[in-house]
Amino acid sequence: MTVLNQCESQDSFLLYNEDMILNVSGRCDIVAFFSEWFMNRYEEGYVDVRNPFYPKKVSRIYFENVDAIVFCTKNPMPILPYLDKINKPILFQVTLTPYHSDIEPHVPDKNKIIEAIQKLAVILPKESLYVRYDPIFINDRYTLEYHIKAFERLCERLEDSVSHMIVSFLDDYKNVQRHSHEIKAKKMTEEDYEIIGRSFAQSAFNHHMTVQTCAEEKNLVEYGFIQEDCVSKKIAYQLTHKKFKKWNARGKNCQCVEMADIGVYNTCAHLCKYCYANYDEKKIREWMKQHDPTSSLLIGHLKEDDILVERK
């Protein structure tokens, strides 16, 4: 195995900031399926991450260099027993949508997820816990009226636990195209966006919450949404008392700060039809079989010809 330090290469993927926020994870649901592995890595003090675009390049992240952790999941239950062991600032984002098994085949019962969110609210400060109603699409089953009632009910149940909601709309990812005959999404009109904007803003207000969109052209601020980012510079500073630059790898509408994602694409067994991170579902079972809770990598192990780089 080749081991390089940061100064030995000028390649762009080997140059990093000294400050770091860990994203756990935008590429897969580590919390739901790999919490044991994550805690093993945390307790051992480092995690290895294979570059998805240069598979031989592996960056090693030492937790002593991590300023904060952002957890993103559809199921926070597996990590609840471990949170008191994590001595880092945490921002927790739980995605909770009202779809059934036709769209979300393996997501746990939503009532149990709501209970888990309520438990998180006891552990974390209210400003460190967001719920994402994401993504929104409409079809014959999931109508505008359906979403309006579902969002209102969600705000009602989480009023004492959550102060901020994030919503977004369906994007045309490869996986969405593959499942278009099941999703059967209708094209949303300007009137649809206005109805959602006004209704969701009113529900959030009624239950002492704020609501924002996530990197959308239509940010719905004219209907009462706030204009904010999911992990903004302000939030990052509140968590770490450090300043972070914008995450340039994201789209033009995203102003979130740069984070280090430790996940692996095509490893989420929720198999949601709208998922962007599973673009080759045939690999999911194969890759998950390669998961070893004791490995430094989420999938597989280090190889002799890997180039290992410490990420600062």
Give the model's confidence band at 15: pLDDT under 50 very low, under 70 low, under 90 confident, else very high. Answer: very low
Q: What is the pLDDT of residue 312?
A: 79
**Count of Cβ atoms closer than 10 Å to residue 96 Cβ:** 23
Lowest average pLDDT, out of 34-38, 192-196, 241-245, 297-301, goes to 241-245
pLDDT grade, residue 3 (50/70/90)?
low
Q: Going by DSSP bridges, is the β-strand pair 46-50/57-62 parallel, antiparallel, or unpaired?
A: antiparallel
Q: Please, which pLDDT band fits residue 238 given cuts at 50, 70 and 90?
A: very high
What CA–CA distances, in Å, run from 26 to 22, 110, 144? 10, 21, 27
DSSP 218-252: ---GGGT-----TT-HHHHHHHHSS---B-TTS-T
Q: At what angle do helices 190-206 and 144-158 cross, to 10 degrees?
A: 20
Grade residue 269 by pLDDT with cuts at 50, 70 and 90.
very high
pLDDT band for position 4 (cuts 50, 70, 90): low
Category of 266 on φ-ψ map: left (φ > 0), alpha (ψ -120 to 50) or beta: left
Cβ proximity of 107 and 270 under 8 Å? yes
Distance CA 293, CA 55 (A): 20
What angle in degrees, to the nearest 10, is found between the helix axes of 110-123 and 144-158? Answer: 40
